[in-house]
Chains A and B, each alone.
Chain A
Amino acid sequence: MRETPSFPRVTTSAFPTVADPAAPPAPVDVRALAGALAGIVGPSHVLTRDASLLVYRSDGLPGLARDPALAVFPGSRDELVAVMRALAAVGAPFVARGAGTGLSGGALADGVTLLGLHRLKRILAIDAEARTATVEPGVVNASLTKAVAPFGLHYAPDPSSQTACTIGGNIAENAGGPHCLKYGVTLNHVLRATIVLPDGTVIPLDRGDDGGYDLLGAFVGSEGCFGVVADVTVRLTPDPERVITLLADFTSVRAAADATSRIIAAGILPAALELMDQATIEAVESSIYAAGYPRDAAAVLLIEVDGAAAGLEEDAAAVETECRGAGARGVRVARDATERARLWQGRKKAFGAMGRVSPHLAVQDAVVPRTQLADVLEEIQVIGARHGLRVCNVFHAGDGNLHPNIPYDAGDPEQSRHVHQAMREIMARCIAAGGTITGEHGVGLDKLPYMDALLTAETLDAMCTLRDVFDPERRSNPGKVVPVRACKEWHGAASVRGGQA
């Protein structure tokens, strides 16, 4: 176990800021750059005034804010490429941004150019026979599913922000969602892409299945540090013949976690398996998203099985048996699509519902091996209690992907300090359990301080190497994902190379 990370600088927020700002970039003449960009996209699509940029100072994560120097919004692929080349020409760092729904501060631009991609929202092609779609990066996740619904298809990754978040952002974050348990994360649904590298070069990327490195696989989840997606071809998934949604009601979180392990161990692969604890249930049931969850339950599991109609009721029955075996008080099956939608709305809007509880919500994301869930959840409650905080758990139990969320008031420095400390302890516990510090939200700025505790110096250095393959000048989303101090030059290797030549 490495020493715990230190947090050298704390902003007004509860959260540590980037530990190591990138080496100061060459000064960029903002007015000249804005003028050049306006020449490409038109003056109405370049923002430079503080007031108009305000909306871009944060993303979906409360407590972190950074002010971009300017923002530019290309309206076509040609404009995107021209913008990237204009940025490259003056060595200007930039941050790509889709809908700004990210939960790790990854789309914040600290004094650099914000490159908004939401105008690039064309669906370029749908091939129902091949079950693929080619889209621009600004296409909203749910819009793609809506567009392909007439063909009996959908786009499987379904982050809770799917009605707002973009496919480009999903690729940057390797986004997940409840149904990734069965269907896989974004990585498993991306076939080909056209990328604009930070130097303005336009290149095709694929998974290397015909003899090549998996450059696209490496690009997915690179959090905007490797370049920008110009278009992407994704796999579409046939709609299941039938869906059964169950709600199991438990008198302890441990019993719900045990039921999760039992279902997986019984060989059933649910489409989704979500856990919500009492604090979350209470927040949801008190909100406009009330889903009919039992208010007196310590935890509920929302479980969905889908696929061919034949055999599905047997799977649902087996799920119920395992839940009851783990001590479920009751198991309810959604009678129709309306009830199913209502049960899901409570889950998908749970973060929003927590807005009723307090002004801010610290949304967290970590993963542990599934068999560790019950123990880790108990310790998270202990950690929360020690800091006088209430932890609301709502997460992808089937994947072991925790979301311990803490409602708090960012204006209260004492409470903010406790939130910060509790989060650090929770992350340390997840690492100790053999887990990781983020399963789907990304590192961004928020998780940077934990990277040293999770990964060795050599591994972090190699991650910098991978970044340098795509972005040797480190201008694309500077200062994110890997602490800059971890990137060292490998002088020994350089001399080796020189000797061989």
Chain B
Amino acid sequence: MSDQPRNVRELAGLVRDAATRSAATRDAGLRIEGAGTWMDSGHPVRAGVTLSVGAMRGIVAYTPADLTITVDAATTLAELDAATREHGQWCPLLPWGDDRGTVGATVATATAGPFAESLGRPRDLVLGVEAVDGMGRVLGAGGRVVKNVAGFDLTRAITGSWGTLAVIARLHLRLRSRPAVDESWAMVMDDARDTPGGVSRNDPGAALREFSRGPHAPLAMLDLAREDAAALALPAGTRALVRIGGNGAFVAASRAALQSTAGATAVAVEPATWDRVRTRLAPGDRALTWRWDALSRRLRERFDPARVLNPGLLGEEG
């Protein structure tokens, strides 16, 4: 059985119905779904009904000069990227996985990506949320402003809760300007480093780590395993991938630093490489080990007392 609400009111009605039904049947649980491409937590959801927010999709409000955007939950990452790219901006969520995934699922699972260190994690990029909790209450917290401390932070509680506290209907997100100059470099390392027991006199890995902590910190730096280079169609011997961005003078200095890394050769690659990286190197599904301390149990209990939202997903006991 599947339900597909068209708006937050219908969504709230369906959740409320499920909560009421739960008194009579064990199958009242709802499996919350966006595009249906999201990562498996490794735990089965005990739900008789799939509740798809797939119809709640699209850009709701976007004033580029505010550097914020409001989107419905099932808007895909690709749609978000296209809408913002047009104005020289991006939403730095850029999570592991491909861009068919939805913004709602990215935020619900707080899935970060290779740019999180420099551009922010989902928990830091979500400005506000409209959501329906397990009792069918419609919650609207935060909004289209970048600073907001009016009341207790429901947005933080809901972000990364895997839909077990509330079903996300709509999101307000922080945007950033795309860097004026945006370059990606494959760092091809000397063989000596990888000979068994042998280490090159130079340690390009350490040099790059130092680079990434310094004033020219890149947008992303990723260590690659030997076999990754072929899978990503990168030059043979590529052991690290670096993305640098900023104004012309900044990028020139960053590039010079990369090119002078002893024991490694910098080879320019296409920015699209990162899309392949996010898809191919996404961490595999593994059973999520949730921290079920007393406070977490109480949080779940208070926001979804009937246990209708993704029951079992986080591996909690009955």
Residues of A whose CB lies within 8 Å of any CB of B are 173-174, 176, 180, 184-185, 187-188, 197, 201, 203, 205, 207-215, 217-218, 220-222, 225-226, 238, 240-241, 261, 264-269, 307-315, 318, 367-371, 396, 399-401, 434-443, 447, 451, 454-456, 458-463, 465-470, 481-482, 490, 492-500
Contact = CB atoms under 8 A, between A and B. Distances in A.
B145 A443 contact: no
B148 interface: yes
B137 interface: yes
A451 B215 contact: no
Contacts of B147: 176, 180, 185, 367, 396, 399-401, 439-440
Given A212-B291, A213-B296, A436-B143, A447 B150 contact: yes
Contacts of A184: 120, 124
Interface residues of B, number: 75
A293 to B, nearest CB: 25
B305 A437 contact: no
Contacts of B51: none
A482 B151 contact: yes
Given A214-B123, A497-B306, A399 B65 contact: no
B63 A371 contact: yes
Contacts of B296: 212-213, 215
B192 to A, nearest CB: 27
Contacts of A443: 149-151
A310 B249 CA distance: 6
Interface of B: 19-20, 22-24, 63-68, 88, 110, 120-121, 123-124, 133-135, 137-141, 143-154, 156-157, 159-161, 165, 176-180, 213, 215-216, 246-254, 288-291, 293-296, 298-299, 302-303, 305-307
20 contacts: A197-B295, A212-B291, A214-B159, A218-B153, A218-B157, A265-B64, A267-B180, A308-B250, A315-B247, A367-B145, A399-B146, A439-B148, A440-B147, A462-B141, A462-B303, A467-B152, A469-B295, A481-B151, A482-B152, A492-B19
Nearest to B134: A493
A18 B258 CA distance: 59
Contacts, number: 246
A226 to B, nearest CB: 8
Q: Which of B63, B149, B249, B307 has the most CB of A within 10 A?
A: B149
B19 A458 contact: no
A481 B148 CA distance: 13
Given A212-B291, A264-B67, A217 B153 contact: yes
A266 B67 CA distance: 11
Contacts of B124: 184, 187-188
A221 B144 contact: no
A440 B24 contact: no
Given A203-B295, A456-B138, A469-B302, A208 B66 contact: no
Contacts of A496: 19-20, 22-23, 135, 305-306
Contact of B157 (A176, A188, A213): A213
B253 A310 contact: yes
Contacts of A499: 22-24
A434 B249 contact: no
Given A311-B249, A400-B146, 10 more contacts: A203-B294, A211-B290, A310-B252, A311-B246, A368-B145, A371-B66, A454-B150, A469-B299, A482-B152, A498-B23
A481 B65 CA distance: 31
Contacts of B254: 310
A384 to B, nearest CB: 22
Contacts of A308: 215-216, 250, 253
A383 to B, nearest CB: 20
Nearest to A497: B305
Contacts of A266: 177
Given A184-B124, A437-B150, A500 B23 contact: yes
A230 to B, nearest CB: 15
Given A208-B291, A221-B153, A222-B152, A458 B138 contact: yes
A261 B140 contact: no
Given A207-B123, A367-B145, A462-B154, A265 B65 contact: yes
Contacts of B295: 197, 203, 205, 215, 469-470
A222 B137 contact: no
**Leading 7 A-B pairs by shortest Cβ distance:** A499-B23, A311-B250, A217-B156, A310-B253, A267-B177, A212-B291, A439-B147
Contacts of B139: 458-459, 462
A181 to B, nearest CB: 8
A205 B299 CA distance: 14
A462 B68 contact: no
Given A173-B149, A269-B176, A367-B147, A458 B159 contact: no
Nearest to B179: A267
A466 B154 contact: yes
Nearest to A201: B294
A371 B143 contact: no
A439 B145 contact: yes
B228 to A, nearest CB: 24
A369 B149 contact: no
Given A212-B291, A463-B151, A307 B161 contact: no
Contacts of B246: 311
Given A269-B177, A314-B248, A368-B145, A225 B152 contact: yes
Contacts of A264: 65, 67
Contacts of A455: 140-141, 150-151
Nearest to B19: A496
B156 A212 contact: no
Contact of B152 (A185, A187, A218, A269): A218
A159 B134 CA distance: 38
Q: Which of B67, B135, B295 has the most CB of A within 10 A?
A: B295
A451 B141 CA distance: 12
A241 B215 contact: yes
A308 B254 CA distance: 10
B91 to A, nearest CB: 15
A367 B148 contact: yes
Given A440-B149, A443-B149, A469-B295, A463 B154 contact: yes
